[in-house]
Copies of this chain bind each other. A is one copy, B any other.
Amino acid sequence: MGRPWRNGDGAGAEHDRTCGTTCAECEVRARTEWSVLSREELATLEPGRITRTYLPGETIFQEGAPAHGVHCMQGGMVGIRKLDVAGNSTLLRLVHAGEALGYRALLTTNEHRTTAEALTLSRVCFLDGAAVRRLLARNPALGLRFLEHAARDLESAEDKVLQNVTLSVRARLAHLLLVLKDRYLVSERGESFEMTLPLSRQDMAAMIGIRPESMSRTIRQFQQDGLAEFHGRSVRVDDITCLLDELGESAEFPTEVPH
């Protein structure tokens, strides 16, 4: 249990001693929406604050449950899932240290529309909804920070829609690898790089909307084609440009022949 918050986040500045400190002293505060608040404003959040550690697999809130407040990630990684009637699930996005979680339900239905599940050991603060709403009503900057967050989430959700519709599985996996590279890169040299995947195969499959079997097969294809080498959760890519080529390949320009 040495340093559980170091999970590829790069910052690696979160230690056990954050345990129980106030928001004002929180090490990830600068990255959060709360960074726009004054000391006095921050203090109003303290009474309704609860910090908790979640083990991998534990759920933080469930789809359909009423939202009583906002969660704020201190460390670890959480997956936002959405399930359909048949139990089929999609992994919509990953949430890391410094990000808010479940803020949306506070604004609309008061009911969570997604499930949040810890994917690694995670420390998460819960902040009381009423206190947050009071601050939102008073300080415009706070709402704007959340608005930016929502705008980014919306952007990536729309990207995902387009991706799932237009790209092949190969292209979607290539895209996923490139996205994960930004955060989970281990080493890079020229056109080649290495990274450690933060997700199981199943979860990677759920991220691009395919079955685990298809993930296996596509990974094997990538290896056979010399695109990437997978050893457990570590991936080595020799030539990143090959990966980039995959993105457009499934739907190349329709050879604009004049007449």
Contact = CB atoms under 8 A, between A and B. Distances in A.
Interface of A: 82, 84-88, 90, 92, 104, 107-108, 113-114, 136-144, 146-148, 150-155, 157-162, 164-167, 209, 247-248, 251-254
Nearest to A83: B162
Given A143-B143, A147-B146, A251-B85, A155 B108 contact: yes
Contact of A165 (B150, B159, B209, B253): B209
A107 B151 contact: yes
A137 B142 CA distance: 10
A88 to B, nearest CB: 5
Contacts of A85: 247-248, 251, 253
A84 B164 contact: no
B248 A148 contact: no
How many copies of this chain does one complex carry? 2
A119 to B, nearest CB: 18
Given A86-B251, A152-B108, A161 B157 contact: yes
Contacts of A136: 140, 144
Nearest to A146: B147
A248 B86 CA distance: 8
Nearest to A109: B155
A159 B141 CA distance: 29
B254 A87 contact: yes
Contacts of A140: 136-140, 142-143
Contacts of A108: 148, 151-152, 155
A158 B254 contact: no
A249 to B, nearest CB: 10
Contacts of A248: 85-86
Contacts of A165: 88, 90, 164, 209
Given A165-B90, A209-B164, A251-B88, A150 B143 contact: no
A116 to B, nearest CB: 13
